[in-house]
Amino acid sequence: MQNIIDDLNWRYATKKFDPSKKLSDEQVSTLKESIRLSASSYGLQAYKILIVEDPALREKLMEASFGQRPVVDASHLIVFCAYTSVKEEDAKTYMQLISETRGTEMKNLEAFQNGIINSINNKSDEDILAWTSKQTYIALGQLLHTCASIRVDSLPMEGFNPKAYNEILGLDALNLTATLACPVGFRHEEDPAQFNKKVRKSNEDLFDLR
């Protein structure tokens, strides 16, 4: 279990990436599979993950990220996008996937399907977006820990203009909105942030047993 703590102590929000170092195909595949296996509400995965490699596109995204260099210097830029609406058809498609994956008859999934549909129908458009957006944070947490475990650096980012990202990436037409960005790659040897001691609340301040 100490390995987990070692990984988390190794991780930090990398401020300067080495643009000459790139993730291997195996490392990218590991990160993708980790995100794919992340927990999500109902298992519905009401989000889409964009992996942006194109340099010209990333230059535009850097401008929409208030000039933050990691967007272009990191090996890859991962953008988490939440669906702005979830429909009954999405629940039915998910039930079909469960049926095919587990060999479960659709009739045995009706109660689960109806529960999801009822939940969706009782939410306003604003509630749906808040719900799907929160799911992307869960997936981001999974990504950050996986990066640390394979010694890939990362920088979780909320500091960008979502409307600009949506326009640059054509997300509006896909019923998506950008919620989070995370450059991944390898720290530059001159990044001073890597030498900072990790600052966290004590157990006594953070946890309260009831």
Segments forming the whole domain that contains residue 120: 13-187
Structural domain includes residue 17 = yes
| CA–CA dist 62, 163 (Å, integer) | 14
- Tell me the whole-structure pTM to 2 decimals: 0.96
Structural domain includes residue 193 = no
Structural domain includes residue 2 = no
Residue 163: per-residue pLDDT: 98
For the domain that residue 158 is a member of, what is the CATH number? 3.40.109.10
Structural domain includes residue 8 = no
Structural domain includes residue 192 = no
Structural domain includes residue 35 = yes
- Number of folded domains that form the chain: 1
Q: Is the dihedral of CA 139, 140, 141, 146 positive or negative?
A: positive
pLDDT digits (tens, 9 = 90+) for 133-176: 999 999 999 999 999 999 999 999 999 999 999 999 999 999 99
DSSP secondary structure code for residue 195 in this structure: G
Structural domain includes residue 7 = no
Q: Under a CB-based contact definition with an 8 Å cutoff, are residues 139 and 80 in contact?
A: yes
22 residue type, one letter:
K
